[in-house]
Amino acid sequence: MKPAHIAIIMDGNGRWARARGLPRTAGHRSGVEALRRTVRAAGEQGIHWLTVYAFSSENWSRPKSEISDLMGLLRLFLRRDLAELHQNGVRVRVIGGREGLEPDIAALLSEAESLTANNTNMNLVVAFNYGARDEILRAARAIAAEAKVGNLDPAALGAVDFEAYLDTAGIPDPDLIIRTSGEQRLSNFLLWQSAYAEFVFLPCHWPDFGADDLAAAIGQFQERDRRFGGVAAKEAVS
Ligand code: FPP
End-to-end CA distance of the chain: 24
Residue 160 included in any domain: no
Q: Which domain holds residue 24?
A: 5-131+173-222
Residue 166 included in any domain: no
Give the number of domains in the chain: 1
Residue 31: CATH number of its domain: 3.40.1180.10
Residue 158 included in any domain: no
pLDDT tens over the chain, length 238 residues:
999 999 999 999 999 999 999 999 999 999 999 999 999 999 999 999 999 999 999 999 999 999 999 999 999 999 999 999 999 999 999 999 998 899 999 999 999 999 999 999 999 999 999 999 999 999 999 999 999 999 999 999 999 999 999 999 999 999 999 999 999 999 999 999 999 999 999 999 999 999 999 999 999 999 998 888 888 766 665 5
- What whole-number distance in Å separates Cα of residue 79 and Cα of residue 31? 17
Residue 105 included in any domain: yes
Residue 137 included in any domain: no
Residue 213 included in any domain: yes
Residue 109 included in any domain: yes
Ligand 1 mean position to 21 CA, how many Å? Answer: 17
Residues 6+ apart with CB under 8 A from 213: 180, 202, 204
Residue 214 included in any domain: yes
- What whole-number distance in Å separates Cα of residue 180 and Cα of residue 210? 11
pTM of the predicted model as reported, rounded to 2 decimal places: 0.95
* Nearest Cα residue to 26 out of 237, 207, 209: 207
Nearest CA to ligand 1 atom 22: 12
Which residues are known to be catalytic? 11, 59
Most informative mutation of 8, 9, 10 for ligand 1 (most atoms within 8 A of CB): 10
Could you tell me the CA-to-CA distances from 224 to 3, 93, 176, 199, 209 in Å, in that order?
11, 29, 10, 10, 22
